[in-house]
Amino acid sequence: MRENPPPSGRTGALDHVPAPSASAAVTPETAAPETAPPEGRPTALVTGASRGIGRETALALARAGYDVAFTARTVEEGQGAIPPRYSGDARAGIPVPGSLRTTRERIEALGVRALPVPMDLLDRESVREAAATVRREFGRVDVLVNNAVAHIAGNHDRFLDLDLDVAARTMSGNYLNQIALLQEVIPGMVARGGGTIVNMCSGSATADPPAPPGEGGWGVAYAASKAAFGRLAGAINAEYLDRGVRAFNLDPGFVVTDAGAARGGTGSIAERGFDPTPEDAPGRAVVWLVTSPDADRFLGKVIWTPKLVASLGI
């Protein structure tokens, strides 16, 4: 599950393998020259795409004519495992379906190029190496969808039970390492005169939980990391919008993915009145944002997926 409840209390939310990496972030001056993709197709990079929102988004972009690179930790079917939501849960590795291989097969069936790239969001060098691989193989990144989320056992623990090391690792994965990826991708976009970034944000970043974790609410470690992540789009627009690089914050809504259902806790949130969003809805929203000339009116605002897809009929 993505803990992205509808923006309660907000009105108008819609309006509102690896290559060696450098020790420092790439700059527009040091970025390797990027080339046009074959057949003139644009390229996209989607993180966290072995299953759930990420895979559906990668498929949506493929249907829209993009060559798609995508990352995940799970390479083959049967290898997928995620940690429990709470530290008191004795399950060490909860099995989940999905893999880079399956996503690749489904993208290639749509007639575009698919580039699976192993990446661990909690490993900063892995993040940088993934970006280098995409640059080397595709030559450019026209669209970046930051969908991957760091799942760590205990990052939804209650306040007094929270392990600060867990909170720090969650912040690294969901915020600091996301910056590392953006630092690798933005220079190429600037050098080419444009690009689009879509960050999958979370309603938990701005809405107070309606109940304690486990009773329909969410943990502060996760929410705080997503709140920090939610500031990145605005910073990018402030510095690079006049150079053609746009960044959107897209709240997917309350999506019950295979991973979220396996971790548990989704039922209590649903009981609090949060209606589930279809798993493929965020992908449809992403395609509209990166292709529509009307999308710029949502810059600097939090876009709530259910309202966007309903209003546009997409």
According to the model, what pLDDT value does residue 92 have?
A: 75
For the chain, the average pLDDT equals: 86
Question: Average pLDDT in the 136-153 region?
Answer: 96
Question: Average pLDDT in the 53-67 region?
Answer: 98
Task: Please indicate whether residue 34 or residue 147 has the higher confidence score (pLDDT).
Answer: 147
Report yes or no on 20 lying in a domain.
Answer: no
For the sheet containing 67-72, what is the strand order?
114-118, 67-72, 43-46, 143-146, 195-200, 245-251, 302-304
Report yes or no on 136 lying in a domain.
Answer: yes
According to the model, what pLDDT value does residue 264 have?
A: 55
According to the model, what pLDDT value does residue 93 have?
A: 83
| pTM for this model (two decimals) | 0.85
Question: Burial letters for 39-51: b for 16+ Cβ neighbours within 10 Å, e otherwise?
Answer: eebbbbbbbbbbb
Question: Average pLDDT in the 179-188 region?
Answer: 98
CB atoms within 10 A of CB 162: 19
Report yes or no on 138 lying in a domain.
Answer: yes
Report yes or no on 1 lying in a domain.
Answer: no
Chain segment 105-119, per-residue pLDDT in tens: 999 999 999 999 999
Looking at the 3D structure of the chain, how many domains does it have?
A: 1
According to the model, what pLDDT value does residue 24 have?
A: 42
CATH code, domain with 106? 3.40.50.720
Task: Please indicate whether residue 268 or residue 292 has the higher confidence score (pLDDT).
Answer: 292
According to the model, what pLDDT value does residue 78 have?
A: 86
Task: Please indicate whether residue 49 or residue 8 has the higher confidence score (pLDDT).
Answer: 49
Report yes or no on 67 lying in a domain.
Answer: yes
According to the model, what pLDDT value does residue 206 have?
A: 92
Question: Average pLDDT in the 125-146 region?
Answer: 98
Question: Average pLDDT in the 156-178 region?
Answer: 97
pLDDT over 80 (residue 271): no
Report yes or no on 181 lying in a domain.
Answer: yes
pLDDT-derived band at 272, boundaries 50, 70, 90: low
According to the model, what pLDDT value does residue 119 have?
A: 98
Report yes or no on 177 lying in a domain.
Answer: yes
According to the model, what pLDDT value does residue 134 have?
A: 98
pLDDT over 70 (residue 298): yes
According to the model, what pLDDT value does residue 44 have?
A: 98
Report yes or no on 57 lying in a domain.
Answer: yes
Question: Average pLDDT in the 293-301 region?
Answer: 97
According to the model, what pLDDT value does residue 17 have?
A: 35
pLDDT over 70 (residue 100): yes
Tell me which residue range forms the domain holding 178: 38-312
Task: Please indicate whether residue 90 or residue 5 has the higher confidence score (pLDDT).
Answer: 90
